């Protein structure tokens, strides 16, 4: 048995020394020193020896196991040092080699448009304000001359919230337009007002020109002796600054519950120059007649001023607003035929801007 122990110890030490990685060393330790190993079987054979032989062989077996375990620990440490050494070499960085420039992103097309719009109106003295996207019925409809039973409410395709109704402000909803910000600004009574409210708005519509969530901006000018002339001047300035120096606007009579008189705003087409006819004599396919519809505007209705605590006999107000995405899509050189593509996170599209 002493000879078997010596031979087995030598074989185990040789395999430990030959292990080339930690995984292989684990296998050697399990197979040759584990419960079902040859070493364990040899130890079980000690029971058939005499007391004196068992004592001698037990001592030799313990010494052999300690020697083997020390060898395993030493080999494991050596393999670890070798791995770290290889890692240091493979991951070595030559600081003299030029680095790889990181990929730098850019602002989304909608964000770029918002920054441009804010810059244009700030130069006219308008201050950007922020109002809730989760709004109350009072500000979205009631204070804007749309009482509870008015059919104009149906046009907005509103998302109502599953929340308790407020005794004063009515139902909770996702803001269908930024005009609710005008109602809130009037309540502050910090006159005169030149405010620009840009926010996300929500409506139950989806097609090539509508998205359930889109950005809208609302401009409000409240002061004494304000007229449609001021509105036209502001709109023409915006068209020249945002679309180009040759672009202009026109006002078409329309009807909005919160303005009187009300107008639809058109901007001259950047392709045909507002003529509706191209250089080759053919009709412009983009605008058909020289104008593109931009948004809505008008003089703020007296009932809206009264709801905000402002006397319409002392102050006048002009309001205007339209979708940011729609405005961006009408810029010269931008060819987008589906508003929804702006929110599909398609890098092939986004990287063009």
Alpha carbon of 26 to those of 7, 73, 132: distances in Å?
21, 11, 63
Average pLDDT over residues 203-222: 89
Preceding amide of 327 cis, omega within 30: no
Higher pLDDT, 143 or 348: 143
Higher pLDDT, 281 or 320: 320
* Axis crossing angle, helix 2-18 with helix 51-90, rounded to the nearest 10: 10
Handedness of CA 39, 40, 44, 50 (dihedral sign): positive
Q: What percent of the chain has pLDDT over 90?
A: 45
Q: Are 25 and 19 in contact (CB under 8 A)?
A: yes
Q: Which pLDDT belongs to residue 42? A: 65
Q: Are 351 and 289 in contact (CB under 8 A)?
A: no
Does the structure show a pLDDT above 80 at 8? no
Q: Which pLDDT belongs to residue 54? A: 63
pLDDT digits (tens, 9 = 90+) for 108-143: 999 999 999 999 999 999 999 999 999 999 999 999
What do you get for the CA distance between the two ends of the chain, in Å?
A: 83
Say if pTM beats, i.e. exceeds, 0.75. Answer: no
Alpha carbon of 214 to those of 88, 162, 205, 209: distances in Å?
52, 22, 10, 11
> How is residue 214 written in tokens?
């889109």
The b-or-e profile of 260-283 (16+ CB within 10 A means b, else e) is eebbbbbbbbbbbebebeeeeeee
Average pLDDT over residues 264-290: 82
Q: Which pLDDT belongs to residue 261? A: 95
Does the structure show a pLDDT above 90 at 5? no
Does the structure show a pLDDT above 80 at 247? yes
pLDDT digits (tens, 9 = 90+) for 10-59: 777 787 788 778 788 777 777 767 666 666 666 666 666 666 666 766 67
| 8/154 Cα distance (integer angstroms) | 91
pLDDT digits (tens, 9 = 90+) for 182-211: 999 999 999 999 999 999 999 988 887 788
Q: Which pLDDT belongs to residue 262? A: 96
Contacts by 331-336, CB closer than 8 A, 24 or more apart: 331/242, 331/243, 331/270, 332/243, 332/244, 332/270, 332/271
Q: Count how many Cα atoms sit within 13 Å of the Cα of residue 33 in the half-sphere of its side chain.
A: 23
Q: Which pLDDT belongs to residue 49? A: 64
Q: Which pLDDT belongs to residue 149? A: 84
Does the structure show a pLDDT above 80 at 321? yes
Q: Which pLDDT belongs to residue 303? A: 95
Q: Which pLDDT belongs to residue 11? A: 76
Q: What percent of the chain has pLDDT over 70?
A: 89
| 234/14 Cα distance (integer angstroms) | 91
| 265/276 Cα distance (integer angstroms) | 17
Does the structure show a pLDDT above 80 at 87? no
Alpha carbon of 52 to those of 6, 43, 58: distances in Å?
19, 15, 10
Does the structure show a pLDDT above 90 at 241? yes
Does the structure show a pLDDT above 90 at 68? no
Q: Which pLDDT belongs to residue 316? A: 94
């Amino acid at each position: 048995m002493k000879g078997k122990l010596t031979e087995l110890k030598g074989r185990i030490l040789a395999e430990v020394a030959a292990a080339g990685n930690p995984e292989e060393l684990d296998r050697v330790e399990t197979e040759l020193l584990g419960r079902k190993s040859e070493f364990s079987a040899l130890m079980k054979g000690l029971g058939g020896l005499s007391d004196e032989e068992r004592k001698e062989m037990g001592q030799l077996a313990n010494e052999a196991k300690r020697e083997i375990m020390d060898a395993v620990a030493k080999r494991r440490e050596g393999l670890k040092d070798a791995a770290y050494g290889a890692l240091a070499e493979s991951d070595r960085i030559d600081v003299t080699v030029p680095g790889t420039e990181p990929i730098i992103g850019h602002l989304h097309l909608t964000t770029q448009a918002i920054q441009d719009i804010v810059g244009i109106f700030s130069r006219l003295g308008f201050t950007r304000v922020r109002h809730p996207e989760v709004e109350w019925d009072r500000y979205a409809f009631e204070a804007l001359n749309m009482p509870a039973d008015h059919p104009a409410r149906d046009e907005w395709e509103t998302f109502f919230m599953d929340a308790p109704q407020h005794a004063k402000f009515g139902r909770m909803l996702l803001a269908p337009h930024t005009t609710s910000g005008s109602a809130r600004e009037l309540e502050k009574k910090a006159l005169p007002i030149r405010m620009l409210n840009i926010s996300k708005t929500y409506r139950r519509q989806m097609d090539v020109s509508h998205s359930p969530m889109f950005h809208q901006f609302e401009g409000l000018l409240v002061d004494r002796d304000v007229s449609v002339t001021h509105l036209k001047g502001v709109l023409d300035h915006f068209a020249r600054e945002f679309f180009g120096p040759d672009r202009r606007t026109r006002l078409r009579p329309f009807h909005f519950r919160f303005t009187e008189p009300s107008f639809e705003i058109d901007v001259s087409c950047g392709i045909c120059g507002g003529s509706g006819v191209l250089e080759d004599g053919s009709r412009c396919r983009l605008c058909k007649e020289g104008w593109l519809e931009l948004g809505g505007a008008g003089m703020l209705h007296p009932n809206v001023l009264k709801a905000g605590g402002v006397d319409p006999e002392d102050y006048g107000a002009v309001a205007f607003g339209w979708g940011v995405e729609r405005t961006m899509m009408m810029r010269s050189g931008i060819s987008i035929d589906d508003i929804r593509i702006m929110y599909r996170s398609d890098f092939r599209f986004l990287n063009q801007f």
